[in-house]
Structure 1
Amino acid sequence: MKITLLKILLINIEITVFFRSLIDGVEYLGYLVVLELKLILPVAKKWQFKQLRLTPCTYAGTQLDHNWVITGHNYRRHFSYLKTLKKGDSLCFINASGAKINYLVEKTEVLQPTQVNEMTDSGYDLSLFTCTYSGTSRFTLRCHQVNT
């Protein structure tokens, strides 16, 4: 079992996180960190409905292939406040090895549930999506990876 110690600076508070990539049979890739929203969320490697109730999950693609799509419920503790982010806002992903990958928000859009190809073949390095409040559409945040 691999355990990585991560230190995340969140609004001038240092948080120490012990990351184990396999917990209760679920493989995690790391943490999604959105400082603007004071949000730190583990991301599961595979999408499963029962897992989605607990944490965001990879829906398609990978971080390494620059076509990663992560889905999360519209819970306050998950992706509810993504809609408040705007172009130029930053977020990052800290993988199980402790490497930090930085992203900038490029745009937001609302897709229909049937627009699967538009969701997964977007040309963006990272896409985060959740249901709209009505549950009939998908609010989507599109991001590009940046080098810092």
Structure 2
Amino acid sequence: MTHDTSHRMGLIFILLGAAALTAAALLAGRNLLVEHRAERNASQLLAQVEQWSAQPEQVIDQAVLAEAPEDSPTIWDSYDVDGVLSIPSLGLKLPVLSQYTEDLLKVSPCIYQGLGGSQPQRLVIAGHNYRSHFGSLNQLAPGDEITYRSLDKTETFFRVTQLVEIGAEDAVLLEEGQWDLTLLTCNLDMSRRLLVRCGMIVPDSQ
């Protein structure tokens, strides 16, 4: 290999490396922007829900409306909220949407399966692994408490019983076991799913 050829090859590798770094930086920037929008959407919706709940009388099962950010799709102009999820040990308080779609997951966690409301049963709440949503669920431990407040202000208390990791193709495992609430999210490359299993706390066992 001549000196000129070797020099050209070196330049090509440098350019390819620079292009890869640029692509990685753009991807990281895009991910940060998506996470920022998700945090803003959930925060804005939570404020609307709490303002709505503070009114003396409300019609239950009515959709809670919130103004969508200017750069959000019009499908997000209104949200049907089922309740508010609170995880004190993580400092999380998030509205939970009653319907599940990929678009709505970018706003806030959604009911994936089960019954919500004031009498939740085998409830599965799914959320993206954004830092402001479910990205820190892996920091939970058995014994941590979780609260779910429905729109009629009924609070149901849960205690974490175990954390389970399953493969992306093992959805059937979601149904297994004895539990009342499951929080569901994925890892960064979406190859695994994290299930936080919780049992309901009855009043005399608190």
TM-score range with shorter-chain normalisation?
A: 0.7 to 0.9
Deviation of 1:132 (Å): 1.1
**The one of 91, 102, 124 aligned to 1:38:** 91
Q: Which residue of 2 aligns with 1:9?
A: none
TM-score, normalised relative to structure 1: 0.83
The alignment status of 1:133 with 2:188, answered yes or no, reads yes
Gaps of at least 5 residues in structure 1 are: 7-19
Indicate the percent of aligned positions where both proteins have the same amino acid: 26
CA contact (8 A) 2:82 2:151 kept: yes
Distance in 2 between residues matched to 1:140 and 1:54, nearest whole Å = 20
Deviation of 1:65 (Å): 5.4
Gaps of at least 5 residues in structure 2 are: 1-48, 56-61, 66-76
CA contact (8 A) 2:168 2:190 kept: no
Q: Which residue of 1 aligns with 2:201?
A: 146
Q: Which residue of 1 aligns with 2:53?
A: 4
Deviation of 1:117 (Å): 2.2
Q: Which residue of 1 aligns with 2:109?
A: 56
Deviation of 1:121 (Å): 4.5
Alignment of 1:24-103 (within 5 A): 24-63=77-116, 64=119, 66-103=121-158
CA contact (8 A) 1:127 1:141 kept: yes
Distance in 2 between residues matched to 1:95 and 1:65, nearest whole Å = 9
Deviation of 1:61 (Å): 0.8
Q: More relative contact order in 1 or in 2 (CA 8 Å, sep 6+)? A: 1
Give the ranges of 4+ consecutive aligned residues of structure 1 lying more than 6 Å apart after TM superposition. Answer: none
The alignment's C-alpha RMSD in Å is 1.9
The alignment status of 1:120 with 2:175, answered yes or no, reads yes
TM-score, normalised relative to structure 2: 0.61
Deviation of 1:105 (Å): 0.1
Q: How many residues align?
A: 134
Structure 2 residue identity aligned to 1:53: K
Helix, strand or coil at the partner of 1:133: coil
Deviation of 1:41 (Å): 0.3
Distance in 2 between residues matched to 1:120 and 1:42, nearest whole Å = 24
Structure with greater helix percent: 2
CA contact (8 A) 1:126 1:143 kept: yes
Alignment of 1:15-26 (within 5 A): 21-23=63-65, 24-26=77-79
Per-residue CA distance 1:14-38 (angstroms, 9 max, x = gap): xxxxxx7422332111100001111
Per-residue CA distance 1:81-116 (angstroms, 9 max, x = gap): 110010011010011001110000000010112222
